[in-house]
Amino acid sequence: MLFISAPFGNYLTHKNATSVIGTFTLNKRSGLLMQMIKTLRYSFKDGCWYNALGLRNPGVINGIGKCKPDNILSIAAIDVGDWHELEHLIPKDVKLELNISCPNIEHYNEYTNGIEKFVGRNPIVKLSPQMSLRDIDELYDLGFRKFHACNTLKTDKGAQSGKSIQPYTIKFISHLKKCYDDIYCVAGGGIEDMTDIQRYHSIGADSFSLGTVCFNPFKKNYILNNYPLDSWRDYC
């Protein structure tokens, strides 16, 4: 399965992919356009994208209204009590991704406290490159079984995405698949072509998430339009 990762899933759909919309927070966080103008940029020197968008969004109520049955709703908590309120507000039939890994947000201490309320909904948990393997094991111990490795990397220049994420994704998925036999893993980070899909599939990834490749319509469309046709068999 292919996913179109948030925020690209807010704008893109395809018959061969599931769009992840969001990320939405409990309350509105305005200023998206200005943050995009100020911080979204490609570094030819580093070969990657940087941003400092900081989860600018119209709020989860808006997201619930936009969420279609075949979408996944990505949500994040900012303040103490947000996970409780989000769990209360979001209908039980909405498929979820818990974004516990945005590098551009100053979260409260013990940020993940309260996410256990979502275990029964079997959400995807989006991991941070900065997490330790023990952090991930603790999420498993709470009862989570679906993981998305991984989000952007925090740097002095902003959140970094692209090929630099791949070592973290490989590390996390390899660990999860080695240690547990009931795990579903979504691999994301630096997917630009079939070779990246093949690399992630070889370590046990079950699905693949398209992110900044969506800035390149030719690469993005090639992947989407050829999945899961026979031409993919050698890769998947």
Q: Is the dihedral of CA 113, 115, 119, 120 positive or negative?
A: positive
The DSSP output letter for 29 is: B
User: Distance between CA atoms of 141 and 150, rounded to whole angstroms?
Assistant: 19
Q: Give the tens place of pLDDT for each residue, 43-62.
A: 998 888 888 887 899 999 99
User: Which pairing describes strands 72-75 and 96-99: parallel, antiparallel, or unpaired?
Assistant: parallel
Mean pLDDT of 158-162: 88
pTM above threshold 0.85: yes
* Geometric angle at alpha carbon 175, from 163 and 178, rounded to 5°: 130
Q: Where are the domains of the chain?
A: 2-232
Q: Is the dihedral of CA 96, 31, 8, 127 positive or negative?
A: negative
Q: Give the tens place of pLDDT for each residue, 169-217.
A: 999 999 999 999 999 999 999 999 989 999 999 999 999 999 999 999 9
Q: Does domain 2-232 have CATH number 3.40.190.10?
A: no
Does residue 62 contact residue 27 with C-beta atoms inside 8 Å? no
Which residues on neighbouring strands pair with residue 125, listed in sequence order?
A: 98, 147
